[in-house]
Amino acid sequence: MSYASVSTLLLSVVLGFCTAGRSVFASDDHQPPPEPVPRTYFGMHIHRAATSTPWPQISFGSWRLWDAAVHWSKLEPGRGDWDFSILDQEVRLAQQHDVEVLLTFGRTPAWASARPNEKTGHRAGKQGAAAEPKDIADWRNYVRTVASRYKGRIRGYEIWNEPNLPNFYTGSPESMVVLAQEAYSAIKAIDPNAIVVSPSAVGPTGLPWLEKFLAAGGGRYVDVIGYHLYVRTQPPEAMVDRAHQVRQIMTRYDVGDKPLWNTEAGRQTWGGPPIADESEESPGYIARSYILNWAAGVRRYYWYAWDNAGMGVHMTKEDAATLTPAAVAYDRIESVLLGTRMMSLNHSGSTWECELRRGHKSLWLVWNTDGNASFSPPQSWAVRTATRLLDNSQALRGGQKTQIGLIPTVFQ
C-alpha cells in the first residue's frame, strides 16, 4: 500500500482548474493520448492469485506484481538460492488470461543490503530491505536471472516502488540512477522488447524526488515514467493536477515524449472503516478515475487492489467471488472506454462531461461530484438513451432531464 497526500489548497486548484464550461484540455499537458483506449490501460493488483484468490471475474489487460510475494528477498532469499515457485504460477495465470505482467524490483534481501540492520517500517519488509544493494554485481545478477527466465513472458519491469518513502527506499536518487542504468542494460541485452519503467514515486514529496532522479540522468535508462497518483480521500478529479505536475517535470528534463503510467492508485481510507459496498462513492471513484487518468495523458492505470480490503474498497463479497458494485464499475467503465478516442473533457461547476468517439459515433459520460443533480443533454448531442453505469438504460426525448450523480451516466 502507498502513502500520498493532497492539500486543501491543491484540491481547490484542481476543482477550480477551469472556468464554467471550459475544457480541461486547455493545456497541452492535459491532452489525452491520441490513440484509442487499449485493454492494457486497465491494470490491476492481485496479491494472492497464486495461492488463495480466485482469478477476478472482470476484464483487465495488465497486472502489476507488487505485494504479490515476488520481490527480490522472496525470489533470492540467499545468494544464488532461487525460489521461482510463486512467480512461475503468476506468470502462467497471466498467460492463461492474456494479461501483460509488470514486475516491480525492490525489497533488497538482507544478505545483499548495504545496510542489513536498518529498520525502516513494516512496509519495507525485513531489516535492510529499503537499502540499495552493497555490491552492484548482486543487483545485476538478480535482474539478469529474472529477465532471462521470463524473456517474452514478462512484458515490463519497474525499477523500484515508491523510492521517496523511507518505508521502501533509504538510498539517494543518484544511487537509484545507478540501479536503473544497470537494470536497463541487463534487461535490454536479454529482451530488447521489454519495457523498463522508472522508479514510481508517490505524493507531493515524490515530485522533488522525481526531479532529482531525472536531473541525475535517470531518464536515459527508462522507457516509461511511472508515478503513483494517489490523492488519499480527495475525489479522483484531484489526480488531474498531480499528473500535470509530473508532466511538467518530465518536460523540464526532456522526457516529455515518454509515456506516463500510473502504476498504483486506489481509494484510500487509511485504516478507517471500509466504504459500504452499496455506497455510490467507491464505484463512482473507480469509474471517474479511469476517465480522468486517460484525459490527463496517463497510458496505464493499475488499480490497488483486488484483494486488499485494507484500502477500504471491497471488490468482492466475503466469498472472494461475488462482485461488489465497485468491481462492476471497473468492468463496465472498461467496456465503455475500450477502443474509443477521447475528444473533450469539460466541467461547469460540479458537473463534468466527457465526449468519446467510437468510429464516427459520439457518446458522452456525465457525472456530478456533489451527488445527485438534474441534467439535460444538449440537443446537439442527439442522444436517445441515458444509462447510469450500474443501471439499465432509459429512453430520452429531446431536452428531457435525467438524474446524474457520483457514478457516470452514459448518453448515446
pLDDT at 16: 39
Mean pLDDT for the chain?
Answer: 91
pLDDT at 92: 98
Residues 6+ apart with CB under 8 A from 245: 207
Packing angle of the helix pair 173-190, 136-149 (nearest 10 deg): 40
Residues 6+ apart with CB under 8 A from 88: none
First to last CA, the chain: 38
Long-range own/partner contacts, residues 281-285 (CB < 8 A, 24 or more apart): 281/406, 282/313, 282/314, 282/324, 282/325, 282/326, 282/329, 283/325, 283/326, 283/328, 283/329, 283/389, 283/390, 283/407, 284/329, 284/367, 284/405, 284/406, 284/407, 284/408, 285/235, 285/236, 285/313, 285/406
Q: How confident is the model at residue 232 (pLDDT cuts 50, 70, 90)?
A: confident
> Half-sphere exposure of residue 79, counting CA atoms within 13 Å on the CB side?
11
Domain boundaries, the chain: 8-341, 348-411
Lowest mean pLDDT across 23-37, 232-246, 270-284: 23-37
CB 387 within 8 A of CB 410: yes
pLDDT at 173: 98
Cα–Cα distance measured from residue 60 to residue 79, given in angstroms and rounded to the nearest whole number: 36
Question: By percentage, how much of the chain surpasses pLDDT 70?
Answer: 91
CB 219 within 8 A of CB 253: yes
Q: How confident is the model at residue 278 (pLDDT cuts 50, 70, 90)?
A: confident
Cα–Cα distance measured from residue 266 to residue 227, given in angstroms and rounded to the nearest whole number: 13
CB 183 within 8 A of CB 196: yes
Q: Which three cell numbers stand for residue 211?
A: 526531479
DSSP conformation letters of 62-92: EEEESSSS-SHHHH-SBTTB---HHHHHHHH
Whole-number Cα distances in Å, 306 to 44, 50, 175, 302, 320: 7, 14, 33, 10, 10
Cα–Cα distance measured from residue 67 to residue 17, given in angstroms and rounded to the nearest whole number: 35
What does R_g of the chain's alpha carbons equal in angstroms?
21
Mean pLDDT within 103-120:
96
pLDDT at 122: 61
The more confident residue out of 72 and 2 is 72
The pTM of this model reads 0.93
Q: What is the pLDDT of residues 121-142, one digit of tens each?
A: 666 568 999 999 999 999 999 9
Question: By percentage, how much of the chain surpasses pLDDT 90?
Answer: 83
Q: Which three cell numbers stand for residue 65?
A: 506484481
pLDDT at 59: 97
CB 86 within 8 A of CB 71: no
Enclosing H/E stretch for 329: helix 325-337
Mean pLDDT within 199-206:
98
Cα–Cα distance measured from residue 380 to residue 360, given in angstroms and rounded to the nearest whole number: 15
Does residue 7 register a pLDDT over 80? no
pLDDT at 277: 84
Query: Cell match 458522452: residue?
Result: 364
Q: What is the pLDDT of residues 138-194, one digit of tens each?
A: 999 999 999 999 999 999 999 999 999 999 999 999 999 999 999 999 999 999 999
Q: What is the pLDDT of residues 369-407, one digit of tens each?
A: 999 999 999 999 999 999 999 998 999 987 789 999 999
pLDDT at 22: 58
CATH superfamily of 8-341: Glycosidases (3.20.20.80)
Q: Which three cell numbers stand for residue 41?
A: 490501460
User: What is the total residue count of the chain?
Assistant: 412
Does residue 120 register a pLDDT over 70? yes
Residue 165: helix, strand or coil by DSSP? coil
**Plot region of 271 (φ>0 → left; ψ -120 to 50 → alpha; else → beta):** left
Q: What is the pLDDT of residues 35-90, one digit of tens each?
A: 999 999 999 999 999 999 999 999 999 999 999 999 999 999 999 999 999 999 99
Does residue 25 register a pLDDT over 80? no
CB 47 within 8 A of CB 64: no
Q: How confident is the model at residue 274 (pLDDT cuts 50, 70, 90)?
A: confident
